Structure 1
Amino acid sequence: MESVTAVGRTVVPAREARAARLAAGQRVSVVDLEGGQVGDVFAFAAEDVTEHLSAAHTRAATNRLFPAMGEPFVTDRRRPILTLVSDTSPGWHDMLIAACDPARYAGLGATASHPSCADNLRRALAAMGLSVPFTPQPLNVFMRIPVGEDGRLSWLPAVSRSGDAITFEAAMDCVLVVSACPQDLVGINGGEPTSLAIDVSAPN
């Protein structure tokens, strides 16, 4: 890996994304700055970004819809890439829903210019000189998608509060991308997307 992200904060403006390079052992927190904001989190192996955090492989590894504290998120090659360290939010997170993309917004009646997490991912990686030919299933932090007894999903507003954070430790050198989800046509962000932050701390 060419470099690692310096210790400190990167603000992710509403409807945009930012990327950070992490060294194994560094900790990274995704912080909801104003409350009620969903973040799409993607992670890629630094030495080969075609290897990525995989929600499906993580569910198989942990036997959960979302890992418990101390459990890993794994890649599509079944290697740990992040470990869940702490969570000060009410604990709602999702690994079922795909990243929003232009086709999703077209189906909801939005204009072609509506921002999306898929486009945000592409731009954030491009700013680091990287690209991938796909959009992985994201880790949707603060996203409240309960599964009913009948198997149906509900799209509910995020209940994270200002300053709530979920923290991970990098299990390998990796590239992390966080998109402050621009979804404003269903209620997950309360109709008005706001900013997130990426806080990086030194390795243990």
Structure 2
Amino acid sequence: MDGDLVTIPARRGKAARVRAGQTVRVVNTHGDQVVDTWAFRADDMTEFMSMEHSRAHILKIIPVVGDTMLTNHRRPILTFVEDTSGGIHDTIIAACDCHRYKFLGVEGYHDNCTDNLHAGLAEIGLSSAETPSPLNLFMNIPVRPDRTLSFEAPVAPPGSHVALRAEMDLVIAFSACPQDILPINGVGHPPTEAHFRIDG
């Protein structure tokens, strides 16, 4: 039975439990919104989806449909099964945090993906001792011919989605990225909510 659509509030985080074999559909509701994504083994939060282990496995910087992401124990955790977003995602950049915004000149507190992860987990009674590097769905970080990186606007249109199949019982967590200084969520486009649904 298909699940209900769940809101990832703008600038906030959300988490949910997912059984092996279920599919998580992440919807870029208004387009341009980056969704930082984490996955943890349900019965051991010290095992989690790892970008560095996944890149070594898929031999790509950007995963595509059919690619399986691995944990820090090199076990399958999520597989890309659908992508209508244009196929541009990021596995390189760390989650934003209070230190990042201070570096960008922000005085005082700024919403950030690191805090959103832990708030989302806490909402369902869980915690993680660390903040793994996220799978940044819809985030556009091109690698130029001179090997430098840049922060560019997403290409994901409104209503586009990515579907991920759970390869183990897991906890998935999201942050609707609150970045509003760089064009990470689109030029002149403030951070917005996104949605997800668990099917199967």
Equivalence map 1:113-152=2 (5 Å): 113-152=109-148
Gaps (5+ residues) in structure 2? none
| C-alpha distance in 2 between matches for 1:41 and 1:62 | 18
SS of the counterpart of 2:102?
helix
Aligned to 2:107: 111
* Offset at residue 9 of structure 1 (A): 1.0
SS of the counterpart of 2:47?
coil
| C-alpha distance in 2 between matches for 1:29 and 1:11 | 12
- Normalised by the length of structure 2, the TM-score is 0.96
- 1:114-162, CA deviations, whole angstroms, 9 ceiling, x for partnerless residues? 1000000010111111111211000001101100011100111112111
- Normalised by the length of structure 1, the TM-score is 0.94
Aligned to 1:71: 67
Aligned length: 197
Q: CA RMSD for the aligned pairs?
A: 1.0
More displaced, 110-119 or 162-171? 110-119
SS of the counterpart of 2:124?
coil
| C-alpha distance in 2 between matches for 1:58 and 1:66 | 10
Aligned to 2:78: 82
* Offset at residue 72 of structure 1 (A): 0.6
Which residue among 190, 195, 198 is the counterpart of 2:196?
Answer: 198
SS of the counterpart of 1:76?
coil
Gaps (5+ residues) in structure 1? 1-5
Which residue among 31, 34, 47 is the counterpart of 1:35?
Answer: 31
Large movers: runs of 4+ above 3 Å: none
Identity %: 47
